[in-house]
Chains A and B, each alone.
Chain A
Amino acid sequence: QQQVKQSPQSLIVQKGGISIINCAYENTAFDYFPWYQQFPGKGPALLIAIRPDVSEKKEGRFTISFNKSAKQFSLHIMDSQPGDSATYFCAASGGADGLTFGKGTHLIIQP
């Protein structure tokens, strides 16, 4: 049972455009929703995270939108740059428990 569904699997965006990645979860006990960025040969690195008591969180060019009733959340990357090309994972957990990850989105930003 896949508890966190992520889409799209791959995404190509022009430089300066907006990259949008979506995730949906099933377990209503989840209360922590981070996004991780992973470059080839590296470990995942935390990008931004949100709790369900807010509907949006912004850090620089990265924004998480959260819809608790729909059990969905998304990552928006504004003014996408070639250096943003990486694999992005959404995840969810109940507090400080282990993370359940989505399958990942391979993002390519074309110059």
Chain B
Amino acid sequence: TQLLEQSPQFLSIQEGENLTVYCNSLSVFSSLQWYRQEPGEGPVLLVTVVTGGEVKKLKRLTFQFGDARKDSSLHITAAQPGDTGLYLCARPGDSGYALNFGKGTSLLVTP
């Protein structure tokens, strides 16, 4: 069972465009994390959102946690080639120790 659905699966845009990617679940989660993974490297934590309705900004990246804590979005303003990578969302699993990851959105930003 895929607990987290990410969309779109792939996204190819030109430098300067804006974009939004989504992470959805059928169940409420206590917190959600976003990671970015560049080719050939491990995922890197970008942000954790905890409170329903919460908005966090990281330079040109804006993260939002849905009011019902079942969904989250990542908006990138004026995308740059350096934003290219795989964006993963993750939530705490039922075990209490591990994370469940979505399959990710693969973003390509071309000059």
A and B from one assembly? Answer: no
Interfacial residues, chain B to chain A (CB-CB below 8 A): none
